[in-house]
Each structure stands twice: as structure tokens, then as C-alpha cells.
Structure 1
Amino acid sequence: MAITHQSLSMLRLTAALGCGLMAGVFFAFSTFVMPALARLQPSQGIGAMQSINITAINPFFMTALFGTALACLGLIGSVLFKWHQPSASYWVAGSLLYLVGTIGVTIAFNVPMNDALAVVKPDDGADLWAGYLTNWTLWNHVRTVSSLAAAALLMLA
């Protein structure tokens, strides 16, 4: 039974740290990366963001983003067997907040905007860029708050 308890503790720690790490990444984008890109000429901002979006698809970032999601799914699954524990509701709430508010928002909003930006020629995308900056950053704020709140709930558990 000690292995199961230890494994569950490691899963909770992994999920909480992953949520906190992702909150930090998203916070950086919300507070200084996107404002810095907004100060550039549209063609320069578009080119820079296109480069960021390509570079973000790497094993380290993807493991942090989706590995945390897997840890959250594992926590939700483990609650089925430990629902009687007082902290179980925190595990579920934190995990769902990350899965919906971070992964769901990323897939439904940020990635489609990134895909639309990817096919634009930087010199022709000023109109798209203005809307992109506003909308992408708004949804990134949601991801920031969701990840941070998820980390807090998982730590409280």
C-alpha cells in the first residue's frame, strides 16, 4: 500500500509543479512577451510570433504542457478509488481547471489563432495581427489564471 500512496503523492506533486510551471510560462507571455511584440511594427511582430510558435513545438514544452495534463487525468482517475478523502475534491477541481482552462483553451483558441497567423506573410498581415494580439493575449490570460489556480488547488490538496 505504501507504493500506491507514494505514487499518488508523486503524481500530485508532478501535477502541481507542472501547473505552476505552465502558469509561469503563460504569465511571461501575458506580462512582457506579447506587450513587447505589440511594440514592434506588425510585420516584425508577426515574424517574431511565427518563429516563437514554431520553436514552442519542442519536447520540453510539449512534455510540460501535456505531461501535466496526463498527471491531472491520472489524479482524476485515482479519485475514483479515494473519493472519501477530504482532499479529493481539490484534486478533481485543480485537475479539471487545468484540463479545461489550459489545455481546452489552448486547443480551442490559441492554436487556431497560431495556425491562422502561420500562413500570413508578415508584410500582409497588419489587420490580422491587431486582432491576434488582443484575442490571443486574452485567452492566454485565461490559461495563466487557470494554471495558477489549478496549481494552488493541487497544493492545497
Structure 2
Amino acid sequence: MLVLPLIALVLHGALAGLFYAFSMSVMPALDAVEPARAEEVMRSINRKILNPWLFLVFLGAPIAALAAGLFAGGPAAIWFFAAAGVSAVGSFLVTMVINVPMNNAVDAGTMPWKEYSPRWTLWNTVRAAASLIGLALVGVGLINL
């Protein structure tokens, strides 16, 4: 059954691309403008990004990898389970414990941009790396089907 692993692959790729784009282009662009403008734009991004497409990718990647592992069996299952675990910890947990509280602080005006941006970008890069690792793990799982 290739459908679930392929869905997991695509979702991990989309998530990795989202996080990568933020760390490599969006945050440097915001750092190049006045902090008040950067905070204003980030508040807008934080509101607009909460949509069904984000939730599909963000929640779907680890769930699809887990489901692929449950249906795959054999050596491939281990790779899919590993991808689900890396995604759950490196993307979901980091987001909920670190990035979301920081977004809430910048939204509330309680964290200045100069403090927010480097820390947020660091942890976003961790999310990108975890998503890329998850993507690779799903790929190895596909090879082992």
C-alpha cells in the first residue's frame, strides 16, 4: 500500500518547506525592517497561518507516517514510526512548547522583536531540520516496502 507513505512523504515535504522558507527568507526579511513593522507583519502572519491547510500539513505529517507504519509492517514500519516520532517531537512539540508561546508574546506586545526573532528563528530551524529528517525517514521507509 503506497498511498499512506506517499501522503506522509508529501506532508513532511510541505512542512519542511514551510519551516525552511521562514528561517531562510521570511525572518531575515522581517529583520531588515523596523522592529515595529516586523512585529506588525508577524502578528498578521500568526493570524493568517492558522488555517485548514496548515493544520492538514502540521497534524497530518506525523499521523500519516504513523498510519503508514501501522499498515506497512516489516522493516518499513520502523522507518515510518521513526518519522512520526521525529515529526511529533521536532515539529509539533517544539511548536506548542516554544514557538506558539513566543507568537503569543509578540502578539501581546510583551516580547520585543530583537529578543523574539533570533530565538524564534533558531527553534523554527529546529522544526525545519526535524521535518527534513522526517521526510528522509519516510523516504527510507518507502524504499523498504
TM norm structure 1: 0.84
Work out the CA distance in 1 between the residues paired with 2:99 and 2:119: 9
Q: Using the TM superposition, give the Cα deviation of residue 116 of structure 1 relative to its aligned residue in structure 2, in angstroms.
A: 0.9
Q: State yes or no: 1:130 paired with 2:114.
A: yes
Equivalent pairs counted in the alignment come to 141
Any conservation in 2 of the 1:72–1:99 contact (CA below 8 Å)?
A: no
Deviation at 1:77, TM superposition (A): 4.0
Q: Residue 89 of structure 1 aligns with which residue?
A: 78
Deviation at 1:73, TM superposition (A): 3.2
Matched, 1:154 2:143: no
- In the TM superposition, what are the counterparts of 1:4-153 in structure 2 within 5 Å? 6=1, 9-78=2-71, 82=73, 85-120=74-109, 128-153=112-137
Separation of aligned partners in 2, 1:91 and 1:20: 14
Give a deviation string over 1:30-77, Cα, whole Å, max 9, x none.
101000000110100000000000000111112111122321332354
| Contact 2:66 2:81 (8 Å CA) reproduced | no
TM-score by length of 2: 0.90
8 A contact 2:61–2:84 mirrored in 1: no
Identity %: 36
Which residues of structure 2 form unaligned runs of 5+?
none
The question of whether the paired residues in 2 share the 8 Å contact of 1:75 and 1:95 is answered with no
Structure 1 segments unaligned to the other structure (5+ residues): 1-5
Q: Is the 8 A contact 2:5 2:64 kept in 1?
A: yes
Residue 86 of structure 1 aligns with an amino acid whose one-letter code is P
Q: How far apart are the structure 2 equivalents of 1:135 and 1:47?
A: 18
Question: Which one has a bigger Cα radius of gyration?
Answer: 1
| Mapped contact 2:16–2:131 kept (Cα < 8 A) | yes
Q: Post-superposition, which runs of at least 4 consecutive aligned residues in structure 1 deviate over 3 A?
A: 75-79
The alpha-carbon deviation at position 13 of structure 1 amounts to 1.0
CA deviations over 1:87-138 (Å, ceiling 9, x no partner): 2221111111111101111111111100111111xxxx6x621111011000
